[in-house]
Amino acid sequence: MLKRRIIIGLLFKNGVLHRTKKFIPDYRYTLRFVDLTHADEVFMIDVTPGAVFPELAFREGIKPYVEECFTPITMGGGIKTAEGASLVLRLGGDKAIISAKRASLIPDLAFKHGSQFVTVGLDYREGEAPLEKAMEIASLGAGEILLQNIDRDGSLSGYDIPFLKKVIGGGINCPVVIGSGCSGWADMEKALRAGADGCMTANIHHISKRAMISFKQRLYERGVPVRNEVAANRG
């Protein structure tokens, strides 16, 4: 069975790590508070208003994280052209994340780099449920979709499971990652059991260096197919 991914989301505004709730800077939570070792993937996203990827401040802000990270990295925020997306590779990234508003870039990027290179962020608000847009993104050749109900950003109120189920139930032909609202391993379990291929969190892993191991251990013990370093070391 394919392992489900637990993904750390690092959001940078003017080169500084921020929380999602009202995008408050996290000056206290520096590199040593982010467990880049046990994550399955890291999303590094520039949320600076009007940013055009890759801004200098973003490049400088992510540098120490890239140097310490040995898991796959997805980068984005302000990508407006196929050429801009390709710069991800030069910055040490493995995949590019583009906005659903830039869906027209998908075929070109998939042709040049393969579908697996293209992650498309579909942001929406409570009650919108843009199912047709999700289907369009998948049909254009996206490697995966990141669903984010932005009204839940930083709320710790749980992922938008109903919309996740609608997307997966619609027969979508690419992996689906869900973000926005996670408060802990129980929310991850609900999302992964509902069919998500990965869960992204942008707040809770800034709190403890050992949070990732703890969450993955709980999920593993409850039969959720996640990569578990503790179990692997025992065997």
Q: Is the dihedral of CA 130, 132, 138, 140 positive or negative?
A: negative
State how far the Cα of 222 lies from the Cα of 211, in Å rounded to an integer: 17
Residue pair 204/19 in contact (Cβ under 8 Å)? The answer is no
CB atoms within 10 A of CB 6: 24
State how far the Cα of 18 lies from the Cα of 49, in Å rounded to an integer: 13
State how far the Cα of 30 lies from the Cα of 235, in Å rounded to an integer: 33
Residue 46 bears catalytic tag = no
Which of 94, 108, 123, 151 is catalytic? The answer is 123
Residue pair 226/6 in contact (Cβ under 8 Å)? The answer is yes
- The torsion angles phi and psi of 119, rounded to 5 degrees, stand at -105, 130
Q: Which residues are catalytic?
A: 123
